[in-house]
Structure 1
Amino acid sequence: MKDLTRRAGSLLLVAASLIGCASHTLKNTATAVRQVDNRDLRRASDAMAALLRSYVPSTGLYETTGWWNSANATTTVADYARVSGKRVEYEVTLANTFTVAQKQGAGFLNKFYDDEGWWALAWIDAYDLTGDKRYLEMAESIFKDMAGGWDDTCGGGIWWSKDRQYKNAIANELFLSVGAHLANRTRGAERRQYAAWSRRELKWFRGTGMINGQGLINDGLGKAKDQTSGAGCANNGQTTWTYNQGVILGGLAEMSKAGHAAEELKLAREITHSAIAHLADKDGVLHDPCEPKCGDDGVQFKGIFVRNLAELYRVSQEPEFAAFVKGNAEAVWTKARGPEDRLGETWSGPYVAANAGAQSSALDALVGAVVVGSK
C-alpha cells in the first residue's frame, strides 16, 4: 500500500508538472540535447529509476538516507535531467522537494554550514535546469547564512557548525563553490560580492596547510578545543576523504570561468592527479578507506568527487579526467550493481545492499560518464 500511495503521488506530481512548469525558461538547452553515448545514458536511466523508488513525495527526501544526502540526490536528479533532456519529467520532483522538504528545514538551513552548502548547490543546479529564479534566490539566501560563519579564528574561514568548534575542509570548500557558482549567475554588485568571497576563501584555504605534502586535502584544522585560542590551526592530518578532493574541483572550475583560469585550473589539476594517484586502486577505481562499511555519510563521498571532476573536465577537456570518470562508471555498472539496478558503495565490487546515499553516489559516476562522453 505504501508503494501504491507513493506511485500515485508521483503521478499526480507529474501531472502538476506538465501544467505548472510549461512556461519555465529552459537554460542550457544545448547541453541537454547534445549527442551522448546511448549505453551510458541507458545505464544512468536505469539507475535513476532505482533511486526514485526511494523518493518519498510527502517529505521531498529519500528514505534510507539523511538530510544532506538528500541534497546530493537532488543534485543528481537535476544533473541527470539535464544530460538526458528530460527536464519536464524531473523538474516536478525538484519543485516538490523545494516545497515540502522545508517542513524539516525551513530555508534549507540548520546548524551545519556544510549541510547548507549541499542544498545551495542543489538549488543552483535546479536553477540551471529550469531557469526558475526561486531556486537561485534560495541559494543566495543560504549563502548569506553560510557567510555568517566566517570569523578571524585561524585567520578566517567558516566554521563547520554554528557551535563554532571546528573549521574543516568540506564546509569551506562548499562555501567557495557556492560563491563561485553564484558569481557566474548574478550581475553587478552581487556578482562582485560573490566573486570576492570565493577569492577570499581560496586565499585563506591555500594558506591553512589543509592541502598536505601529497597534494591531498585532509579533513580540517587542529583539535576543535584548541581552535578558538589559535593553537589548533594546523592541518590535523585526518582522513583524506574523496569528497574533500572533489568539491573544490567544481568550485575552481566555476572560478576559472570568471578569469584567472590558469591559476585555478593548475590547482584543480594538481589535486585531481594526487587524488587519482593515492585514492584509486591499481585498476583506477576510486575508494574511501571506510569501505565496505562507510555508514550513511561515507557512502556519498566518491560520487561527489566524480561529479565535480566531470564538471572540471567540461572546462579543462583533459582526456585523463574523462577516462577516469568513464572507468569508474564502468566499474559501478559491472562490479557494484545488484538486483533491480541497485548500486553498492564499493565500486570495485562486490555488491552489498545499498541505501539511497550509495545509489545516488554511484549514479553520479554514471551521469558523469554521460557528461564527459557528450559530443
Structure 2
Amino acid sequence: MTSADASTPADWHERANEAARSVTALFGRRLFFLPGTHLGAVQWPVPGWRDDVKGKLLQPWHYWWQAHYVDCLVDAGRRELGNAATPAARFNGPEHPSAGRLASRLVTGIRLRNALTFVNNYYDDMAWLALATLRLDTLAEETRRPGRRRNEAVRRTLTLQFDAACTDDLGGGSYWSKKRDFKNTPATAPVALFYARTGQPTKAQQLLDWLNATLLDKEQGLYLDGARLGPDGNVVIERAIYTYNQGPVLGALLELGGEANLARAAALVAAVERRLTVPAGESGVAGPVLRCEGTGDGGLFTGILCRYLALAAADSRLPAGTREAAAGLVRNTAAAFWTGRRPVDSTEAGSPGHAASIFSMHADQPADRLYPPGNAVELSTQLQAWMTLEAAASVESRFRN
C-alpha cells in the first residue's frame, strides 16, 4: 500500500475546486463569442492571432481533449450535488453557472467547432465523448433535471459508429480510425466501457476478451497499444505501454463484474502499481506516484488512469489490498500535483485577474521548473491534474462515507 504523507488532512474537495477554477479561467471561453457555448483553448496564454475567428479555425482541434474537459466538469458537478447543488456550492462561486450547465455548453461548443457534427475520424475520440455525455445525463437525473435530448442523440449517433468499428477482422476489437487499418486498446477499451454502461454487456465482454487474448502482456500484466496486419499478412503487435490504456480496461472490467473480470481488475491494479510508478521526486510525498507521459495527447494519459483507479478504490468486490493500493496511487499522484503547482502571477499575459494555478505535466517534478512564467501551457496537462485531483476527492468522499 502507498499513501501520501501530510501533516494535516488534505481538503481534496477544495483542491479539486482550485483546479476547476484555474482551468476554466485560463482556458475556458466562448466559441466565436457565441452565447450558450464554451470550449477549452488548446494552450494558455492564447497567442493574439489565434483569438480572432480565423485564428480559432486555424488552431489545432483536439476533440478528445474537450471530451475529457466535459468529464472533469461532470466530476465538479457531482461534488456540487454532494453539497446540495445550491449556487453557493458551485466550484466557481454563485455568480457563475453550475459545472453541469457549463459542461452542457461545452458539448454545444464541441458540435459547432466540429463542423456541426459529433462524428469524428477517430473512434476513441467519439467513445470518450459518448462516455462523458452519459455521465452528464446521469448528473442531470440526480439533480432532478431531465438530461438534454441532444445528449441521447449524441450517443445514438455514436453507437452506430462503434458498431461499424467493431468487426471480426484481426479476431475482434475496435478499429482506431476511419482508415480501418489498426485496432487498439485506446479505442477498444472505452468502446467496451460504453457498451457495458449502456446495457450491451455481451458486446462489451467480447471486446474485453479480444483485449485479453491479443493485447494483454501476461508477463507485465498490462495492455499493449494495438495490432495491425503486416505486409506479409501476419498480425503485428504494437508493444508500447501507456498509462491511459489501463484505465478504461479497468473501468470495463469493473462495470461488467463477474469473478474472472474482477480477478483481472485486481491483477491490473497490482501491475500498475508495480510497473507504472516512479519516485515522488521533490514533491515530499511518501511513496511512488504514477508516471506521466509528457505534453500533447500524452498530457491526459495519467489523469485518465486515475479516474478509473478511483473506481477500483471504492469497489467493495475487490480485495481490501487492491482497493488500498488504488486509493494510495491516486492520493499520492494528486498530492504531488498539488504540492508542485505554481501560482499564476497577476502580471502574466492573459492572467484571469484572480488566483489560479498551473500544474506540472509530470507529478514528480514541480510546475515552476517545467512551466516557468512565459512558457505556453497545454490544456491537456491541466486537465490531467484536474482529473487526478477530482479522483482524489472521489476517493476521500467514498472512504469517508
Q: Which has the higher helix share?
A: 1
1:355 aligns with 2:328: no
Q: What CA distance in whole angstroms lies between the structure 2 residues aligned with 1:117 and 1:313? A: 24
1:208 to 183, 206, 214: 214
Q: Deviations over 1:231-289 (max 9, x none)?
A: 12x5322x211001111111112112xxx2x221111111111111111013311114x
Q: Give secondary structure in 2 for the equivalent of 1:300.
A: helix
Number of matched pairs? 316
Partner residue, 2:254: 253
When residues 211 and 60 of structure 1 are mapped into structure 2, their CA distance, relative to the original with a 3 A threshold, is: farther
Off by >4 Å, runs of 4+ in structure 1: none
1:217 aligns with 2:223: yes
When residues 136 and 326 of structure 1 are mapped into structure 2, their CA distance, relative to the original with a 3 A threshold, is: farther
Partner residue, 1:199: 205
Q: What CA distance in whole angstroms lies between the structure 1 residues aligned with 2:105 and 2:77? A: 15
CA contact (8 A) 2:191 2:204 kept: yes
Offset, 1:346: 0.5
Q: What CA distance in whole angstroms lies between the structure 1 residues aligned with 2:265 and 2:217? A: 12
Partner residue, 1:32: none
When residues 95 and 122 of structure 1 are mapped into structure 2, their CA distance, relative to the original with a 3 A threshold, is: same
CA contact (8 A) 1:303 1:364 kept: yes
Q: How does 1:115-264 map to 2 (within 5 A)?
A: 115-131=125-141, 132=147, 134=149, 135-183=151-199, 194-222=200-228, 225-226=230-231, 230-232=233-235, 234-237=236-239, 239-256=240-257, 260=258, 262-264=259-261
CA contact (8 A) 1:329 1:366 kept: yes
1:312 aligns with 2:284: no
Offset, 1:107: 4.2
Q: What CA distance in whole angstroms lies between the structure 2 residues aligned with 1:272 and 1:140? A: 32
When residues 113 and 205 of structure 1 are mapped into structure 2, their CA distance, relative to the original with a 3 A threshold, is: same
Partner residue, 1:74: 70
Q: Which has the higher strand share?
A: 2
1:89 to 92, 95, 98: 98
Q: Give secondary structure in 2 for the equivalent of 1:347.
A: coil
CA contact (8 A) 1:107 1:138 kept: no
Q: What CA distance in whole angstroms lies between the structure 2 residues aligned with 1:108 and 1:252? A: 27
Which stretch has the larger CA shift, 86-95 or 268-277?
Answer: 86-95
Q: What CA distance in whole angstroms lies between the structure 2 residues aligned with 1:141 and 1:350? A: 42
CA RMSD of aligned residues (A): 2.0
Q: Where in structure 2 are there 5+ consecutive unaligned residues? A: 1-8, 32-36, 44-61, 91-96, 142-146, 280-286, 345-355, 372-376
Q: What CA distance in whole angstroms lies between the structure 1 residues aligned with 2:215 and 2:225? A: 11
Partner residue, 1:104: 113
Q: What CA distance in whole angstroms lies between the structure 1 residues aligned with 2:216 and 2:253? A: 16
Offset, 1:83: 2.3
Q: What CA distance in whole angstroms lies between the structure 2 residues aligned with 1:212 and 1:240? A: 13
Offset, 1:338: 4.4
Q: What CA distance in whole angstroms lies between the structure 1 residues aligned with 2:10 and 2:78? A: 15
Offset, 1:177: 0.7
Partner residue, 1:31: none
CA contact (8 A) 1:153 1:230 kept: no
Q: What CA distance in whole angstroms lies between the structure 1 residues aligned with 2:255 and 2:99? A: 25
Q: Deviations over 1:333-366 (max 9, x none)?
A: 0024443211121111121223221111111111
Q: What CA distance in whole angstroms lies between the structure 1 residues aligned with 2:182 and 2:218? A: 18
Partner residue, 1:327: 332
When residues 165 and 278 of structure 1 are mapped into structure 2, their CA distance, relative to the original with a 3 A threshold, is: same
When residues 312 and 337 of structure 1 are mapped into structure 2, their CA distance, relative to the original with a 3 A threshold, is: farther
Q: Where in structure 1 are there 5+ consecutive unaligned residues? A: 1-36, 184-193
When residues 136 and 254 of structure 1 are mapped into structure 2, their CA distance, relative to the original with a 3 A threshold, is: farther
Q: Give secondary structure in 1 for the equivalent of 2:307.
A: helix
CA contact (8 A) 1:173 1:248 kept: yes
CA contact (8 A) 1:216 1:240 kept: yes
1:370 aligns with 2:393: yes
Q: What CA distance in whole angstroms lies between the structure 1 residues aligned with 2:178 and 2:197? A: 23
CA contact (8 A) 2:334 2:392 kept: yes
Name the aligned partner's letter for residue 155 of structure 1.
G
Q: Deviations over 1:77-107 (max 9, x none)?
A: 1012102324771121122122232123344
Which stretch has the larger CA shift, 170-179 or 148-157?
Answer: 148-157
Partner residue, 1:285: 289
Offset, 1:203: 1.6
Q: Give secondary structure in 2 for the equivalent of 1:235.
A: strand
Offset, 1:112: 0.5
1:61 to 39, 51, 55: 39
Q: Give secondary structure in 2 for the equivalent of 1:151.
A: coil
Percent identity between the aligned chains? 25
When residues 369 and 245 of structure 1 are mapped into structure 2, their CA distance, relative to the original with a 3 A threshold, is: same
